[in-house]
Amino acid sequence: MLHKFTLTVANLHEFNLDVYHSLVEELAKIDKDNIETELVELPVYYSYYHGLMLRSKRTLDRLQIEFDNWCATGKSKLRETLSVKVTVALADENLAKTEAHKEYRLRIADLEEVYGLMKSVCVTLEHKKDMLIQLSANRRMEVKLHG
């Protein structure tokens, strides 16, 4: 079940929809002749991709914190430089016009996509586990019936 694009913490930012599709397609395959082996190996894959999902969430959360801090600092500076009372809406509007705001929002959107795709990979592996358990139960039942 090795994928041609080895996903690691270092290249997690390169995880895109094309890689996702081929990865999920490969991870979802079931070798019906080796159900027991698949069941034994599955936790390793789940653990690995779940770890990557958690790392992608951490990266997203850290960027969101950085963005929130940048916004708060920008609002404070705006209040200091203007002689009129600065409303939240005015401060938000002023910050939203900056290139830095746009760059933060784009980076956050990219990281949200990676996190969502990683969550979906984990869900795929959970579904695979359920299917393998059912196939294994069916096989045991067939052996029991046919003796």
pLDDT digits (tens, 9 = 90+) for 82-141: 878 889 899 999 999 999 999 999 999 999 999 999 999 999 999 999 999 999 999 888
Amino acid 96: pLDDT: 96
Within a domain: 114: yes
- In this structure, is residue 34 part of a structural domain? yes
Got the DSSP string for 15-34? --HHHHHHHHHHHH---GGG
What's the domain range around 92? 14-146
Number of domains the chain is built from: 1
**pLDDT of 45 strictly over 80:** yes
3-state secondary structure of 1: coil
Look at residue 70 and tell me whether its pLDDT is greater than 80: yes
- pLDDT category of residue 72 using cuts at 50, 70 and 90: very high
Which of 24, 47, 6, 52 shows the shortest CA–CA distance to 128?
24
pLDDT band at 29 (very low <50, low <70, confident <90, very high): very high
Q: How far is CA 9 from CA 2, 4, 5, 70, 128, in A?
A: 16, 16, 13, 26, 24
Domain assignment present for 5: no
